[in-house]
Structure 1
Amino acid sequence: MTASHVPVLAGELIEALDPRPGEIAVDCTFGAGGHARLVAERLGPGGTLIAIDRDPVAESHFEAFAAEVPCQTRFLSASFADGLRQLVAEGVKADLVYVDLGISSMQVDTWERGFSYSYDAPLDMRMDPEQELDAREVVNTWPERRIAQALREYGDERYAGPIARAIVAARESRVIETTSDLVEIISGAIPARARFAGGHPAKRSFQAIRIAVNDELGQLDTALPLAWAVLRENGRFAGISFHSGEDRRVKRFLAARAQGCTCPPELPVCVCGRTPEAELVSRRAIAPTAGEVGSNPRSASARMRAARKLREGTE
């Protein structure tokens, strides 16, 4: 069973993107189509929404979505990096490009996919069920050092070392098969006083393993330049992230394109000739309101950054 999907920062996304009738939009992570529906309603009959997602469940949601919205639609069954690469190769230019990173409610709440620490299920966590690497392989075959690095980098897990050691010790006597097995190992590796200090003790580790399984940060590094290439001049981009590593990447990418003159401050006139190719919607990340967090606790860590493309770059 899946809970209904609630798109985060929905009003803020629409305000930043300002969808208009007849425009072309690219939804890089369609999911259950929450954001896409709001955008599509504003594009109207003359507009087009291109949806990208590697999860086959998302494609089934898209079929119903396409029959109900007023604009033209197209679905690309691919990771958002591969989907954007295809659009660049086709020469597509869009007015709006946006990406909602992380995991959707339909994935978390589908217990048998093994994304959640709240359900007992086989260890999986693949967004694309066809890919080979899954969570079971990560916890049962990766070296201790690599597991600890993933927990630290992708989950900001303070006890990454002890958890990685506990995983490796446990798998010496049995294969770690289920989410409950992993939760038990993680909980036992964390000191009792800290076990529930920051929410569920397995929350950060599950996030880290999921990111590793799906190469989410690598996908983002590849996708950002492609998203910018698809965007036409005066087009708008927005990225919603749920992890500090994601947010840093989006922040640095947009900041680099919003930067103008790079000459040393002691020079009386600019000699580099660099002008900004992006205008930031906000210098700071846009966070959900207290009201949204109260009604949808999963939105608490969401951060959005957005920009308008002023010109084509020279890179």
Structure 2
Amino acid sequence: MSEYHVPVMLAECIEGLNIKKDGTYVDVTFGGGGHSREIMKHLGPDGQLLAFDQDADAQQNIIDDDRFVFIDQNFRYLKNFCRLHGAIPVDGILADLGVSSYQFDQAERGFSIRFDAELDMRMNQLGDLTAKDVVNNYTGAELHRIFGIYGEIQNAKSLAETIVTARLNAPIVTIADLKNAIINRIPKGKENKYLAQVFQALRIEVNQELEALKEFLVQAADVLAVGGRLVVMSYHSLEDRLVKNFIAKGKFSGEVEKDLYGNNNRPLDAVSRGAITASADEISNNNRARSAKLRIAVKK
């Protein structure tokens, strides 16, 4: 597991869940199993942990314990599978969003700008859409949209136009092909940051990450028991904004709705004031912790 992925803010996540020995908990981003193993340590013989992961590679880390149930699905199906396993309501839900260190380090998966490989970026390796499909088949307007919204790239329109022109000569198949195609659009001295934004935009589109996150958050509020905890860690502002808004307002945009008596009509209350960030020591030992933001909420 340690080679697969080092969990970020592990102690803070476990504290946020406020685990009861006989409770039912869900880790919706199992990955290397680091968070799940720590949760299991706090459960008694009557406790239960369900773990979701859509990446087949995560199954190599499955925990051999009768209290543990592995579900090979995207967390957007949280409610259906909790119901299937008779696990509603649950006492706590943990989500560690984004790509695992393991996925970044597998060159052939196409997640990292450090390697050359085919443009893939599927978290679910059985998924139909790849980054190669997006780059070669999306219209200029569609590429402009995803680079502007998901990558927050300043020159998103000219970047999209450059890709559309480049693919007329030959398909853009590999990471190197993409880098070569857009080299004149990359700001000097900011190559790594810019490419990271391009890759983030493609990855979010391929995996429908923001749509899945919205569906998950709404379902999490439904399946939690009163007093149950939601613990979510995100790594970029798009995810964190959705989590922050849903906890504060019970929705993703607009103002919080009120009931007939003027009370705020939202299912969750924030436990932490603002986002929790990693300590300087943790960041020095695990660079991935640098951008992590942890938010904790309780079901009203």
Q: Same-fold call, TM > 0.5?
A: yes
Residue 219 of structure 1: aligned partner: 212
Structure 2 unaligned regions, length at least 5? none
Q: What displacement does 1:13 show?
A: 0.8
Q: 2:131 aligns with which of 130, 135, 141?
A: 135
CA RMSD of aligned residues (A): 2.3
1:304 paired to 2:273: no
Match of 2:176 in 1: 180
Partner of 2:9: 9
Offset of 1:40 from its aligned partner? Answer: 1.2
Cα displacement string for residues 216-248 of structure 1 (whole angstroms, at most 9, x for unaligned residues) = 000011111111111111111111111211111
Q: 1:163 & 1:20 partners in 2: Cα distance?
A: 51
Equivalent of 2:271 in 263, 278, 281 = 281
What amino acid maps onto 1:170 in structure 2?
A: A
Q: Secondary structure at the match of 1:155?
A: coil
Aligned to 2:187: 191
2:166 counterpart residue number: 170
Alignment identity in percent? 37
The residue correspondences of 1:39-58 to structure 2 (distance < 5 A) are: 39-58=39-58
Tell me if the contact between 1:23 and 1:47 (Cα under 8 Å) persists in the aligned partners: yes
Report if the CA contact (8 A) 1:163-1:185 is conserved: no
**Paired position in structure 1 for 2:77:** 82
* 2:70 partner letter: F
Give the whole-Å Cα distance in 2 for the aligned partners of 1:33 and 1:6: 9
Q: Unpaired runs of 5+ in structure 1?
A: 264-269, 311-315
The count of aligned residue pairs is 295
Are 2:204 and 1:208 aligned? no
Displacement over 2 Å in runs of 4+: 83-86, 88-91, 183-188, 257-263, 270-279
- For 1:251, the equivalent position in structure 2 comes to 244
In 1, Cα distance between the equivalents of 2:30 and 2:119?
Answer: 24
1:83-162 correspondence to structure 2 within 5 Å: 83-88=78-83, 90=86, 92-162=88-158
Residues 252 and 261 of structure 1, relative CA distance in 2, 3 Å threshold: closer
Q: CA deviation at 1:290?
A: 1.6
Q: Tell me the secondary structure at the aligned position of residue 21 of structure 2.
A: coil
CA 1:13–1:180: 2 relative to 1, 3 Å: same
Counterpart contact for 2:118–2:174, Cα < 8 Å: yes
Q: TM-score, normalised by structure 1?
A: 0.87
Give the 3-state SS of the residue equivalent to 2:291 in structure 1: coil
> 2: distance between equivalents of 1:274 and 1:164?
42
